[in-house]
Amino acid sequence: MSIYWKHDRLKLKALAVNGKRVAEEKFEAVRTSARYSGFSYHGVPEEGIELRLEVGPSDPIDLRIEEWSYGLPDIAGMPNNGRPDYIIAAPILYSDCTVITKTFTF
């Protein structure tokens, strides 16, 4: 799972994941683009994670959460016969991935 926030709109004062506080220099250093900062959490348990953000009282919070999994999802009523044996996966890190993205604004 990857979580991103727009750092041009949000000035984080503190960040904690599952009760463990992240040092400010670490979460400010992780810039994924000109407008976003974020982090990845691997091996998310079924019960999920707890994310705490400490921000100013009037700061808007725009979060983008991405869940990456390998393979295509099973869709009811749609056959998934897999890839034909004459086609190979692309030789890149996230080939054959399903990505689900959800954006939240608070």
Q: Please report, for residues 5, 21, 58, 66, 90, the alpha-carbon distance to residue 54 in angstroms, rounded to integers and kept in the order given.
A: 13, 11, 12, 21, 41
What is the value of pTM for the model shown? 0.69
pLDDT tens digit sequence for 38-81: 888 888 899 999 989 888 777 778 889 998 888 778 888 888 77
Give the pLDDT score at 31.
54
Quick check: 33 pLDDT over 80? no
Under the banding of pLDDT at 50, 70 and 90, the label for residue 27 is low
CA distance 10 to 97: 30
- Domain span holding position 75: 2-105
**What is the torsion angle, in degrees rounded to the nearest 10, for the CA atoms of residue 35, residue 37, residue 40 and residue 45?**
-100
Number of folded domains that form the chain: 1
Give the pLDDT score at 81.
77
Which of 43, 61, 51 is CA-nearest to residue 1? Answer: 43
Give the pLDDT score at 19.
93
Give the pLDDT score at 60.
78
